[in-house]
Amino acid sequence: MNTEQFKEFGYAAVNYIANYVDTMRTRSVLPDVEPGYLYDKIPDEIPETGEDWRELLKDFDEIIMPGITHWQSPRFHAFFPTGSSYPAIIGEMFSAALGIVGIHWAASPACTELEVKMMNWLGKFMNLPEELLNSSKGPGGGVIQNSASESTFLCLLAAKAKSIRRIKKLHPELNEDEISSRLIAYSSDQANSSVEKAGILGSIKMKLLKTDHDGNLNREVFLEAIKNDYNAGFFPCYMVATLGTTGICTSDPFDIIGSICKTYNMWLHIDAAYAGAALILPEYKYFLKGVEYADSFNFNPHKWLLVNYDCSALWIKEASVLVNALEVSRIYLKDNCEKENTQLPEYRNWQISLGRRFRALKLWFTLRSYGKKGLQEHIRNHINLANLFHTLVENDSRFETVCPARMGLVCFRLKGDNKYTEQLHEKLMSRRNIYMIAATLNGKFILRFVVCSRLSIEADIRYAWQEIVSQADLVLSNNPC
Ligand code: PLP
């Protein structure tokens, strides 16, 4: 493809994308295809000679589009949002065009330096403790990771390394393998699946503590687990607390958990993958209570802050612990640049892979295009729309909400037997007009309604509610009391 063809394809692609966004509501949010639908539509071999871009665009439209679930549609109310916005898309385009791999500072100084700056911008905007930021005098700093899962895992590795060092001093008779096999980590039974996976990957027993009826982790349960585990010969080392759990968006009490972690020398990681974005609103500042205890804090701008996947922001109070745990030197990794007085990080030692994409670019474009006000409006809009949906549910006596609306999430069900809500969900899914996922809470089958799209307006919420009511009418008429 030469430059002229690139321009033609590029303009056509941008037009296609803009039209896709503008006509999103006309499409079924869920695709109407069967598993394996694509296999026979794609040849078994790479074409012998190159094809014209028009063929690619045509096949994209005819083969790929029918198999797409429209995550950016205002009819998409499943999981949590996945960010997307025009400035972030263009940021991705520039990143692809530059095609750099930021293995060290000299590999593209702008890649490292913009990331440092963006992590400070974000951290300040969210009022995170100064100690976590690169701009502080101390050893803290922020980095962009691929995912919240990786962030939780990396901090587990840092906690593990730090604990082994500390325990070795206290118990010189134990070797590192013995200590490692006796380390134990905690989280709540509401924690995301990625927390359990971090334990598997890091070979540390991860105990998921039982929460109360409202999904809250209680001080006594945490303390008792630590004491029992100590008595059984374990060394507690890591706690993952959540701001905005995946199921019902509850949050752990960071002040209580944090002070326990401090007493027992445990690393506190806060997983705020989705709800962390709400910290940009002054009215949600109270969620910061106890955040000063956090050794690390993570949230995903690629969830609720309009930045395209992947962009997961992680701040670490003592970043050198992670760097020391992961640093592997090779002659080819030296950039031979004097950086002694700059405090510039070598981000390859803060992550799993050696190479890294220029993700700060899309973050920069998004933060500047929207500004603080635009981003705050976006989050407030979602919260207001969720509150509207909550009111609609509450005003229909056949339904019940199972917890308050939290951020952009409302959890609700048809009153009575679980089978009514199960049938409602099945009907909604088979119609494919809106997309919600189910969950269970205290033995009740519930539906999670999440405001996800940046395009969402009040009419979309009313549309979804009408769709739900129309199917609930059918379910209830088929199941007379
Ligand atoms: N933590 C929480 C609270 C989540 O809700 C999710 C995903 O929804 C994750 C972690 C995993 O995020 P990621 O896909 O970035 O690993």
Query: Would you give the distance in Å from CA 444 to the centre of its chain?
Result: 26
147 lines ligand 1 (CB under 6 A): yes
Long-range contacts of 116-124 (CB under 8 A, 24+ apart): 116/141, 116/142, 116/344, 116/345, 117/360, 118/144, 118/360, 118/363, 118/364, 118/367, 119/143, 119/144, 119/313, 119/315, 121/367, 122/301, 122/313, 122/363, 122/367, 123/313, 123/315
Q: Which of 79, 149, 189 for mutating ligand 1's site (highest number of atoms within 8 Å of CB)? A: 149
In the DSSP assignment, the letter for residue 234 is -
Strands (E), 218-336: 235-242, 267-271, 296-299, 312-316
In the DSSP assignment, the letter for residue 107 is G
C-alpha of residue 273 to centroid of ligand 1, in Å: 5
**CA–CA gap between residue 360 and residue 365 (Å, rounded):** 9
- Atom of ligand 1 minimally distant from the CA of 272: 3
Max intra-chain CA distance, the chain: 77
The answer to whether the beta carbons of residues 446 and 438 sit under 8 Å apart is yes
145 lines ligand 1 (CB under 6 A): no
Position 328 scores a pLDDT of 85
Of residues 228, 154, 252, 227, the one with CA closest to residue 195: 154
Which residue's C-alpha comes closest to atom 14 of ligand 1?
147
Residue 286: both structure tokens together: 């109270």
100-357 CATH fold: Aspartate Aminotransferase; domain 2 (3.40.640)
* Cα radius of gyration rounded to whole Å, the chain: 24
Strands (E), 227-383: 235-242, 267-271, 296-299, 312-316
300 lines ligand 1 (CB under 6 A): yes
**CA–CA gap between residue 370 and residue 243 (Å, rounded):** 24
149 lines ligand 1 (CB under 6 A): yes
C-alpha of residue 31 to centroid of ligand 1, in Å: 24
C-alpha of residue 183 to centroid of ligand 1, in Å: 24
The answer to whether the beta carbons of residues 102 and 331 sit under 8 Å apart is no
298 lines ligand 1 (CB under 6 A): no
| 231: annotated active-site residue | no
C-alpha of residue 271 to centroid of ligand 1, in Å: 8
- Atom of ligand 1 minimally distant from the CA of 275: 3
C-alpha of residue 331 to centroid of ligand 1, in Å: 36
Q: Which of 79, 146, 151, 246 for mutating ligand 1's site (highest number of atoms within 8 Å of CB)? A: 246
Position 481 scores a pLDDT of 63
Stated pTM of the model: 0.95
C-alpha of residue 194 to centroid of ligand 1, in Å: 7
- Atom of ligand 1 minimally distant from the CA of 147: 15
CA-to-CA separations, 5 to 1, 54, 64, in angstroms, rounded: 6, 10, 22
C-alpha of residue 301 to centroid of ligand 1, in Å: 11
152 lines ligand 1 (CB under 6 A): no
248 lines ligand 1 (CB under 6 A): no
**CA–CA gap between residue 108 and residue 278 (Å, rounded):** 32
Position 339 scores a pLDDT of 63
Other CB atoms closer than 10 Å to residue 4's CB: what's the count?
8
274 lines ligand 1 (CB under 6 A): yes
449 lines ligand 1 (CB under 6 A): no
Q: Which of 194, 197, 243 for mutating ligand 1's site (highest number of atoms within 8 Å of CB)? A: 194
Coil, helix or strand for 143?
strand
Tell me which of 120, 134, 192, 300 is the catalytic residue.
192
Which residue's C-alpha comes closest to atom 5 of ligand 1?
246
User: How many alpha carbons lie under 13 Å from residue 32 in its C-beta half-sphere?
Assistant: 6
In the DSSP assignment, the letter for residue 273 is T
The answer to whether the beta carbons of residues 162 and 267 sit under 8 Å apart is yes
CA-to-CA separations, 141 to 13, 38, 116, 133, 298, in angstroms, rounded: 38, 45, 8, 4, 12
C-alpha of residue 43 to centroid of ligand 1, in Å: 36
Position 442 scores a pLDDT of 87
- Atom of ligand 1 minimally distant from the CA of 244: 3
246 lines ligand 1 (CB under 6 A): yes
Query: Would you give the distance in Å from CA 369 to the centre of its chain?
Result: 22
C-alpha of residue 195 to centroid of ligand 1, in Å: 9
358 lines ligand 1 (CB under 6 A): no
312 lines ligand 1 (CB under 6 A): yes
Q: Could you list the pLDDT tens digit for every one of the 481 residues in the chain?
A: 999 999 999 999 999 999 999 999 999 999 999 999 999 999 999 999 999 999 999 999 999 999 999 999 999 999 999 999 999 999 999 999 999 999 888 889 999 999 999 999 999 999 999 999 987 777 899 999 999 999 999 999 999 999 999 999 999 999 999 999 999 999 999 999 999 999 999 999 999 999 998 888 999 999 999 999 999 999 999 999 999 999 999 999 999 999 999 999 999 999 999 999 999 999 999 999 999 999 999 999 999 999 999 999 999 999 999 999 998 888 888 876 766 656 788 899 999 999 999 999 999 999 999 999 999 999 999 999 999 999 999 999 999 999 999 999 999 999 999 999 999 999 999 999 999 999 998 899 999 999 999 999 999 999 999 999 999 999 999 887 6
